[in-house]
Structure 1
Amino acid sequence: MPPSAGITRQLPRGRHGLSRETVVASQRERILGAMAAAMAENGYVGTSVATIIKRAGVSRETFYEQFRSREDCFEAGYQRAVEMMLARTGAARSRTGAADPQQRLDRLLRAYLDALADEPTYARLYLVEVYAVGSKAIARRVELQESFVEVIVDLLGANTSAQRFACTTLVAAISAMVTARVAAGDLDGLRGLREPILELVHRGGELFGIDTP
C-alpha cells in the first residue's frame, strides 16, 4: 500500500527525460496519496477534487486523465489498501513452522493489525470512509469481510454451522473494534487487540472449531 518514495515525489519541472509511463505513474501515486491523506483529515464528504489536486500538486486536467470522478479515485485507493492487506496477511498465512491453529491465528492477526497501524490513512479509507462513498463501496467492504470469515473458518478448522457462526461473529467483532480504533487514531490500541482476541479464541476452544488443552 505505501507507494515507493522514488515514484511519489513531485517530478521536476521542465525537461526531465522521464518516459510518459513514469510520469503518469508518478502522478497517479501522488493523487492517491493526496486523496488518502485529505480524507483522513476531512472525511470523504469533506474532501473535494480541488482539495486532492492541490495537495497532489497536479492540474485538474491531469486528475481527470487518471480518474473519472472523486469516487473513482477513492475506489482506486481502496483497491490499493486491499492489495496491501492481502499481501501482508497472505505472507503471514504462507509461513511454515506453525501447525497449531492458534499460532497461525496469531500470525494472521499480527500481520493484519500491523498493516492497518503502519498505514493509518489508507486504513481509514478501508474501514471508515468506505461507508460514506455509497452502496458499491459498501458491498465491496462486505465481500472482503466475508472472505476474511472464510480464512478464519479454514484456519481454525470450523466444520459445523455453529462453529462457522462463531467465526462470523468473531470477524464482525474484530471489524468493529479495529474500525473504532482507526477512526480514533489509536494505533497502540489497534495493535493491543491481538492478545485479547487470541485469549478469547483460546477460551472459546471448540466453539470456534479448535481443541484446547
Structure 2
Amino acid sequence: MITVTTAARQPQAARTATGPGDVGTFRQRLLDGLVASIAADGYRNTTVADIVRRARTSRRTFYEHFASKEACFIALLTDANAELVRHISTSVDPTAAWAVQVRQAIEAWIHSAESAPAITLSWIRDVPSLGAAARDLHRDTMEAFITMVQTLCDTDEWHAIGVGPVPRQLAVMLLGGLRELFASTVEDGGRMTDITEVAVQASIALLGPRTYVPAPP
C-alpha cells in the first residue's frame, strides 16, 4: 500500500518531546533519519550509519530500538499506514453525499502518497525484497484498510442508498486494484493526481448501489 507518515514529514522541532531521554523521541528521530536517507540516497543505499548520522544519535541507540535497517523500515511503514488510515478517515465527511465521500477518501490518499515520492517509490520497489516481513506488513496493512472501508461505508448516507456492510471480498478487490493503479502510475513516472478521476469513478462503481445478476443455472 502506498503511503507516507505525516509525522515523518514534520520538522523535529514541531513534535513534542518530554526530554532528551524520551524513548519515543529517539525512535522518531531514527525514523526521520531513515526517511531523510531514503529521500537522498534510496533505501537500498541507506546504511545504519546513514540513519544515525541524520538522526544525530548513535549506533547503540539505534540497536536499542531496532534489530536492523529492515526492522526500522518496517516500523516506518507500519506507522505510515496507521497515519494514512487516520488521515483518510478524518478527511471524509460522513454527512456528505456518498459519492462525495468516495472522492474525499481517494483525494486524501493520493495527496498523502504524492507528498513524499521517495517513500512511495520505496514501498513499490523495496518492500518485496523483505520476504516474510513484507508479507506480514502487507497483510496487516490490508486488514487495516479493509476495516477502514467497512467503517466509512457503515453510515446513514450509505444505508440510504441501500449499501449494507461492505463484503470483505469487495473491499479486497477495491484496495488491491487501487494499489496496483497507484503503483504502476508511479513506476511509469506519472503523477497520481492524473489518475484521481479514474480511481474515484472505479471506487464509486464498486461501492455504490449494485444490481446483481443471478448466476446461470
The TM-score with structure 2 as length reference comes to 0.70
Contact 2:114/2:120, CA 8 A, preserved across alignment:
yes
CA drift at 1:25: 4.4
Residue of structure 2 equivalent to 1:15: none
Checking the alignment, whether the CA contact within 8 Å between 2:85 and 2:148 is kept in structure 1 is: no
Letter in 2 for 1:83: A
Q: Report if the CA contact (8 A) 2:91-2:108 is conserved.
A: yes
Work out the CA distance in 2 between the residues paired with 1:180 and 1:57: 36
Confirm whether residue 20 of structure 1 aligns to residue 20 of structure 2: yes
In the alignment, what sits opposite 1:84? 83
CA distance in 2, matches of 1:198, 1:142: 24
Q: Does structure 2 retain, via aligned residues, the 8 Å contact 1:43–1:129?
A: no
Task: In structure 1, list runs of 5 or more residues that go unmatched.
Answer: 10-17
The answer to whether the 8 A contact 1:36-1:125 is kept is no
Distance 1:160 1:199, change over 3 A: closer
Which secondary structure state, in structure 1, belongs to the residue aligned with residue 7 of structure 2? coil
Matched, 1:123 2:125: no
Aligned-partner Cα distance in 1 for 2:134–2:145: 17
Assess if the C-alpha contact under 8 Å between 2:52 and 2:62 holds in 1.
yes
3-state SS in 2 of match to 1:210: coil
**Match for residue 96 of structure 1?**
94
Partner of 1:71: 70
The residue type equivalent to 1:63 in the other structure is: F
Does residue 1:32 correspond to 2:31, yes or no? yes
State percent identity of aligned pairs: 23
Closer, same or farther: CA 124–40 of 1 in aligned 2, 3 Å = farther
User: Structure 1-normalised TM-score?
Assistant: 0.71
Q: Which string of whole-angstrom CA distances, capped at 9 and with x for unpartnered residues, describes residues 94-142 of structure 1?
A: x2321x3322111111111111112334434544432222212322213
Match of 1:106 in 2: 103
Is the partner of 2:51 in helix, strand or coil? helix
Judged with a 3 Å threshold, the aligned counterparts in structure 2 of structure 1 residues 67 and 158 are, in CA distance, closer, same or farther, namely: same
8 A contact 1:40–1:124 mirrored in 2 = no
What do you get for the CA RMSD once the two structures are aligned? 3.3
Aligned to 2:11: 5
What's the secondary structure of 1:108's corresponding residue? helix
Q: 2: distance between equivalents of 1:121 and 1:8? A: 22
Amino acid at match of 1:141: H
Pick closer, same or farther for the CA change 1:194–1:209 going to 2, 3 Å.
same
Considering fraction of residues, name the structure with more helix. Answer: 1
- Secondary structure of the residue that 1:193 maps to in structure 2? helix
Residue identity in the other structure for 2:193: R
Structure with bigger RCO (C-alpha 8 Å, 6+ apart): 2
Tell whether the 8 Å contact from 1:149 to 1:167 is kept in structure 2 after alignment: yes
| 2:45 aligned residue | 46
Unaligned runs of 5+ in 2: 1-5, 212-217
